[in-house]
Structure 1
């Protein structure tokens, strides 16, 4: 499981994406889950990071899901039309 930090804004986006992509490459399971429970401070950059991570996972033939996405960020993803791309883990 990959874990998001407590803060993910434009300022942290590049470093966070780099960290997630390194974790993704080391991840040997067929499905990738990103845990967003700790995420407390964020902006739309968090969505961009998650979507890029999803793209990389799919390019590697893996499934991708996010769990614990804050409700307001999930709402924003829906508003932008990408909510279904960040489906929660059941």
Structure 2
């Protein structure tokens, strides 16, 4: 679901409801102290569950002392974040 490549965590599956729990758990497991970049460049499909997963990763990052950034956010997810009023909560690289 998530692969470590070039110092980034590359999300390899669609960010949809069916994958949300697995993505949340995989992202939590991959977190380390320091800066972590979740890269969505391989994501070809996403729904509103992507926002919930991203917020869950941010909460988990606080626990382990990590700083999370999100790169290559799909346009639809960015639009949903604006619609829900959470854009300022998502650190976009």
TM-score higher than 0.5: yes
1:16 maps to what in 2?
A: 23
Alignment length (residue pairs): 86
User: Which of the two has greater helix per residue?
Assistant: 1
Q: Output the CA distance in 1 between the equivalents of 2:44 and 2:90.
A: 17
Query: Unaligned regions of 5+ residues in structure 1, if any?
Result: none
Q: Which runs of 4+ in 1 moved over 4 A?
A: none
Query: Unaligned regions of 5+ residues in structure 2, if any?
Result: 1-7
Q: Output the CA distance in 2 between the equivalents of 1:57 and 1:74.
A: 21
TM-score scaled by structure 2? Answer: 0.83
